[in-house]
Amino acid sequence: MNSNAPSSARRFRWRPTLLILAGAALVGGGVWMAWPAVFGSANEQARYQFSTVQRGDIEDVVTATGTLQPRNYVDVGAQVSGQLKKIHVEVGSEVKEGELLAEIDHTVYLARVDASRAQLRNLRAQLKDREAQLMLAGIQFRRQTALMAEDATTKETLQTAEAALKSAQAQLEALRAQIEQIESTLRADEANLQYARILSPMSGTVVSITARQGQTLNTNQQAPVILRVADLSTMTVQTQVSEADVSRLKLGMEAYFTTLGGQGQRWYGKLEKVEPTPTVTNNVVLYNALFDVPNPDGRLMTQMTAQVFFVVAQAKDALLMPMAALNQGVRAQRGQTPSGSRAGTAQESPAAVRPRENAERSPAAARPGASGGAAQRPRQGSVRVARGDGSLEERSVELGVSNRVQAQVLSGLAEGERIVSGLSAAPGNGNAPRMTPRL
């Protein structure tokens, strides 16, 4: 009989017990690992992302895209027809008022001036002859009058002398009228001759040339534009603002813009005009808003694209919190607190804490820390603040200037406090459904 049989039987009797113990250990380990995800972690903060309340500057702005144009410019055209003989400037040339820009062939106009002057000289010579004839007619009339007083001549002769005098006077007046007419024609011909020399009407920069040297210009149909002279020392920013934002614009409000390739440099101005007539593009209603900006160094040029920001409200060195943290507070009021119970500390309704960017704006007195733009009415919100023991505290806050990213904290938070800004992406963040574990 085999002596090892009892020991083998004992091993077989212990094997089920070992299997049961191993299974229990595995189940216990799984329950231990799944417990935070199912029942919630003892540290409530492990399930959330946090942001720190910090100091900084905040702006509520209306954004728009615009283009740059010179504030003062003149389209220089031709007043007389003819061939464009010479252009004396190029694009980018600096010109002074009265400086010669271009010349039109003046041969025809010079000939007209010469003809008018010759005709005028002829009429003036005739004028001298008429004046002499008038003098002679006057002498004869006076002689006949004296003779008639002595009854030494006939009445008919006296009447003939009187008629000759009046005729000489009429011819003289007609000749003087002709001279005035020719003088007027000469002035027009001389003006046209001067118009053949195109002078700059203002000091500035030649920004465009639309005509070509040798081109024939015809002013009878349409006044041709040869070039444009602009004063680039002051530029006008013309922006298009949507109908949803135009009501937020106020004349005199601060505005600034950046340009492509400007390395983030800002140019500042104040809103000067909002044109009441809109432009409709693809069923989108847009209104033109304009303001001027100095350009002493000439870095701003015509037709540059500008990203414009109209400052509705702003605050300097203010306590700032992310808008995402306010949204987390709204969720807590609508649903559950971090521990799963109804929020008991926040008294405001969800409508009272919902951020409103376009509503609740009034010209109320500015709060401390706010500057520039229109003041915003303070409003209430709710956030969750991290405590030192790992729990969360529901807290009401008063908000000032806000935009889509940040909000100014007027009261309720201190610098450096950590507030919930979102759910953690790590496993066990509390998003798993609540259920009773099965062992």
Quick check: 293 and 300 in contact, CB under 8 A?
yes
Give me the CATH code for the 39-56+317-423 domain, please: 2.40.420.20
- pLDDT for residue 353: 36
Give the integer Cα–Cα distance in Å for 387 and 69.
56
Q: Which two tokens stand for residue 424?
A: 């953690």
Fold type of domain 73-105+197-228: OB fold (Dihydrolipoamide Acetyltransferase, E2P) (2.40.50)
Q: Nearest CA to 384 among 433, 343, 341?
A: 343
Backbone torsions φ then ψ of 402, nearest 5 degrees: -145, 155
Fold type of domain 64-69+234-313: Elongation Factor Tu (Ef-tu); domain 3 (2.40.30)
Predicted TM-score (pTM) above 0.75? no
Fold matches, 39-56+317-423 and 73-105+197-228: no
- pLDDT for residue 8: 52
Return the domain boundaries, the chain. 39-56+317-423, 64-69+234-313, 73-105+197-228, 107-195
Amino acid at 348: E
Q: For 242-261, b where at least 16 C-beta lie within 10 A, e where not — what string?
A: eeebbebbeeebbbbbbbee
Q: Is 334 exposed, middle or buried (0-12, 13-18, 19+ CB in 10 A)?
A: exposed
Q: What's the longest Cα–Cα distance across the chain?
A: 204
Other CB atoms within 10 Å distance of the CB of residue 111: 12
Question: Any idea which of 10-14, 311-315, 375-379 has the lowest mean pLDDT?
Answer: 10-14
- Report, as an integer, the average pLDDT of 22-29: 65
R_g of the chain computed on alpha carbons = 48
Q: Which two tokens stand for residue 192?
A: 């046209």
pLDDT band at 18 (very low <50, low <70, confident <90, very high): low
Q: Give the model confidence (pLDDT) of 366-388 as tens digits.
A: 444 445 445 567 788 889 999 88
pLDDT mean across residues, the chain? 81
Q: Give the model confidence (pLDDT) of 98-154 as tens digits.
A: 999 999 999 999 999 999 999 999 999 999 999 999 999 999 999 999 999 988 889
Q: Give the model confidence (pLDDT) of 152-207 as tens digits.
A: 889 999 999 999 999 999 999 999 999 999 999 999 999 999 999 999 999 999 99
**Is the C-alpha dihedral spanning 22, 25, 30, 33 positive or negative?**
negative
**CA geometry: angle at 289 spanning 297 and 75, to 5°?**
60
Give the integer Cα–Cα distance in Å for 332 and 207.
61
